[in-house]
Structure 1
Amino acid sequence: MTLTATVASKFTDDLGMHTAFDTSAHPDILLYMRRIPSAGRPEALFHLLADETRLRLIRALFDCPLTVGELTEVLAIPQSTVSRHLAILRRGELVSDRRDGTFIWYSLADRLLRDEALVAVIRSAVARLPQEQADRERQQAVLEARRARTRDFFDAVAGNYRSLAKPGGGAEGLALAMMMALPPATVVDLGAGEGDIALPLARLGHRVIAVDSSPAMVHTLQAKAQAAGLRSVEAHLGDLEALPLPDGVADVALVSQTLHHTRKPEVAIAEAARVTRSGGRVVVLDLARHGQDWARERLGDLWLGFEAEELREWLARAGLVQIAIDVAQVSGGLPVIAARGVKSA
């Protein structure tokens, strides 16, 4: 059924369409409906669109979604009038609404926007409205006020924003965004644990080869991958200092928070480089050097983090170039260090 026919069927009963309309004010709308043989009762759609208030609402929503309050300011009419006409447009499937907390956002329905001929007719009718220019000016003021509220908020918290929110929504959000930034790749996750990194990577379309030295961790990861239907995850039991993988299998080798558990960290990095193809990357995320001895007993750490220069030396010795290293302080936690190197040809 066409959009016109749908609207006609809904509004014949709702609005009692049994009278003739004066079509002289909107001849292009009437001409549009006459060209659609399946329109059913085209006077219903004509009645819907021939009302100036409803045309003004549609014009405003062509630009962007708006709330009832904003539409009231744009049209400079009572909120009850705006709400009544929005309800009519919504029943006619020309407007849709979306609740976001205490706000309800109104926008034009996809079915209307897909009908290019009807959109052209509506735009032509809108251009003849006497209030069109004034509505546009008020809408610009409303949108500028919206932008100003956002600017004022960030101006007020500049320098203290981290006390209100974490960048990217927190470490998990940033990690997910970085995963999405990767092109489809084969990622070797060394010290994969239960799959906190491996499984999201697989869900994003990457092939993941996970290696861990704990049989229980490997079993747990396999069970999670199977339950999620992720067939692109391979889980292997193995030692990070003697990986059970062939040379050059990885586009990216990730050594995340596991280097401080290895006996010889430089050997683990060399192994990560070995299984990475030429031009691929080795990424290390671990603890920066710290003096918290409790980590040895409570967390089983062999090393109390690493210095940037020793990581740089190990990466270079493994044949990696374009080395980059940075340290981040973690609120309420131990500092972390991240390092990256590219395997030379």
Structure 2
Amino acid sequence: MTQALTIFRALADSTRLRILALLRSMELSVGELAQVLGQSQPRVSRHVRILCDAGLAERRKEGSWVFVALGAEIRVKPILAALDSWDEADHWTIADEARLAAVRADRASAAAEWFEANAAQWDAIRSLHVADSEVEAAMARALGDAAIGSLIDIGTGTGRMLELFAPQARHALGIDRSSEMLRLARAKLSERGLGNAELRQADLYALPLPDGGADAAILHHVLHFAQQPGAAVAEAARVLSPGGRLLIADFAPHDREELRSRDAHTRLGFSDEQMLGWFAAHGLGPVQVETLEGGELTVKLWLGRKVGESRKEAKAA
């Protein structure tokens, strides 16, 4: 009864109902909510705090920004179902949807400007190896087209892996340390309408998932930036459920020393022996190793599976 009272008190305000409706469409910063609602940030922050205290919303800090998302499904789903049953579209709903479209447009514009400013850097690296489309096609073959369950993309960057593989997943989580990258990813995922994909600012050495919390994990061109790549593999293995898969795409060993200073590469590629050694050390059995040549840098794919009975196998037994 206490929980129900807290929830109904939180919803006894038109602004908070509007916020809940907006969060169904997309995760929004407090500033973006203020923009859509036409209210001050302090006032919106107070409303958000009340919703969070009731478990109907969650706040996540990314750099100097605070993003707000819907709370746990078990708490929010019955409320949303009740709101849907009344199906009342008033002038506030129509106005909020129009201003939300403007927020989406602002995000897309900011992303386009960033890519334009950094295009030369990205193109310089891409020109050294096989086309991204070939790498992505090989990754898709490795993962197959079956449903994935829970997916985590570690070092998601601009969200390309989520864009490709989130449609196969029940739930997809992208993590990155860079708040700027996450803003770009958020704009892309919003444009694609990927409602099952979530973004969080987090470190690849401390993933925001419990042991066994993911069915698949991806490290796409991330490990060569890592100071401790073996520790990153260990952390990815930790969050995999028994039978879960880890797919890594990165470079084979090379001697392009200038990439250290120019593009902040910490490691100049990885050998099969090194990668499979990390797999073995952290309970991952090798499933597939693929070499993609076609440039000065060779791209490698390593697919490993967490040793143990999968969830599906356990259920069948």
- What TM-score do the two structures reach when normalised by structure 1? 0.48
Given that 2:287 and 2:303 are in contact with CA atoms closer than 8 Å, whether structure 1 keeps it comes out as: yes
Picking from 277, 298, 319, the partner of 2:283 is 319
CA distance in structure 1 between the partners assigned to 2:141 and 2:290 by the alignment: 19
The aligned amino acid for 1:336 is V
Q: Which has the higher contact order (CA 8 A, sep 6+)?
A: 2
Q: Partner of 1:92 in structure 2?
A: none
Quote the sequence identity (%): 32
Given that 1:312 and 1:325 are in contact with CA atoms closer than 8 Å, whether structure 2 keeps it comes out as: no
Picking from 298, 302, 311, the partner of 2:262 is 298
The aligned amino acid for 1:321 is G
Picking from 225, 243, 246, the partner of 1:261 is 225
Task: Give the Å deviation of 1:273.
Answer: 0.4
Q: Partner of 2:118 in structure 1?
A: none
Partner SS state of residue 160, structure 2: coil
Q: Deviations 1:277-330 (Å, cap 9, x if unpaired)?
A: 01111111110000001111222100000111111111111111245433332x
CA distance in structure 2 between the partners assigned to 1:316 and 1:177 by the alignment: 23
Once the two structures are superposed, the pairs formed by residues 134-283 of structure 1 within 5 Å of their partners are 170-176=134-140, 181-204=145-168, 206-283=170-247
Partner SS state of residue 197, structure 1: helix
Given that 1:253 and 1:282 are in contact with CA atoms closer than 8 Å, whether structure 2 keeps it comes out as: yes
Q: Partner of 2:304 in structure 1?
A: 341
Q: How has the CA–CA distance of structure 1 residues 177 and 325 changed in structure 2, closer, same or farther, with 3 Å as cutoff?
A: closer
Task: Give the Å deviation of 1:174.
Answer: 4.4
Given that 1:179 and 1:201 are in contact with CA atoms closer than 8 Å, whether structure 2 keeps it comes out as: no
The answer to whether the aligner puts 1:307 opposite 2:277 as a matched pair is no
Q: Partner of 1:332 in structure 2?
A: 295
**Larger Rg: 1 or 2?**
1
Given that 1:315 and 1:323 are in contact with CA atoms closer than 8 Å, whether structure 2 keeps it comes out as: no
- What TM-score do the two structures reach when normalised by structure 2? 0.52
Given that 1:287 and 1:336 are in contact with CA atoms closer than 8 Å, whether structure 2 keeps it comes out as: yes
Q: How has the CA–CA distance of structure 1 residues 278 and 175 changed in structure 2, closer, same or farther, with 3 Å as cutoff?
A: closer
Q: How has the CA–CA distance of structure 1 residues 205 and 245 changed in structure 2, closer, same or farther, with 3 Å as cutoff?
A: closer
Q: How has the CA–CA distance of structure 1 residues 324 and 174 changed in structure 2, closer, same or farther, with 3 Å as cutoff?
A: closer
Given that 2:149 and 2:215 are in contact with CA atoms closer than 8 Å, whether structure 1 keeps it comes out as: yes
Q: How has the CA–CA distance of structure 1 residues 170 and 231 changed in structure 2, closer, same or farther, with 3 Å as cutoff?
A: same
CA distance in structure 2 between the partners assigned to 1:189 and 1:245 by the alignment: 12
Partner SS state of residue 219, structure 1: helix
Once the two structures are superposed, the pairs formed by residues 29-178 of structure 1 within 5 Å of their partners are 170-176=134-140
The aligned amino acid for 1:213 is R
Q: How has the CA–CA distance of structure 1 residues 272 and 303 changed in structure 2, closer, same or farther, with 3 Å as cutoff?
A: same
Given that 2:291 and 2:299 are in contact with CA atoms closer than 8 Å, whether structure 1 keeps it comes out as: yes
Residue range with higher mean Cα deviation, 319-328 or 194-203: 319-328
Partner SS state of residue 181, structure 1: coil
CA distance in structure 2 between the partners assigned to 1:261 and 1:175 by the alignment: 20
The aligned amino acid for 2:282 is A
Q: How has the CA–CA distance of structure 1 residues 200 and 240 changed in structure 2, closer, same or farther, with 3 Å as cutoff?
A: same
Given that 1:250 and 1:275 are in contact with CA atoms closer than 8 Å, whether structure 2 keeps it comes out as: yes
CA distance in structure 2 between the partners assigned to 1:260 and 1:178 by the alignment: 21
Q: Deviations 1:182-230 (Å, cap 9, x if unpaired)?
A: 3242211111110111112224455211111111111211222223221
Q: Partner of 2:47 in structure 1?
A: none
Q: Partner of 1:109 in structure 2?
A: none
Q: How has the CA–CA distance of structure 1 residues 187 and 299 changed in structure 2, closer, same or farther, with 3 Å as cutoff?
A: same
- What residue ranges of structure 2 are gaps of 5+ in the alignment? 1-129, 309-317
Given that 2:156 and 2:174 are in contact with CA atoms closer than 8 Å, whether structure 1 keeps it comes out as: yes
Partner SS state of residue 224, structure 2: helix
The answer to whether the aligner puts 1:284 opposite 2:252 as a matched pair is no
Q: How has the CA–CA distance of structure 1 residues 340 and 180 changed in structure 2, closer, same or farther, with 3 Å as cutoff?
A: closer
Task: Give the Å deviation of 1:176.
Answer: 4.9
Q: Deviations 1:57-97 (Å, cap 9, x if unpaired)?
A: xxxxxxxxxxxxxxxxxxxxxxxxxxxxxxxxxxxxxxxxx
What is the RMSD computed on CA atoms of the aligned residues?
A: 2.4
CA distance in structure 2 between the partners assigned to 1:182 and 1:298 by the alignment: 39
Given that 1:180 and 1:204 are in contact with CA atoms closer than 8 Å, whether structure 2 keeps it comes out as: no
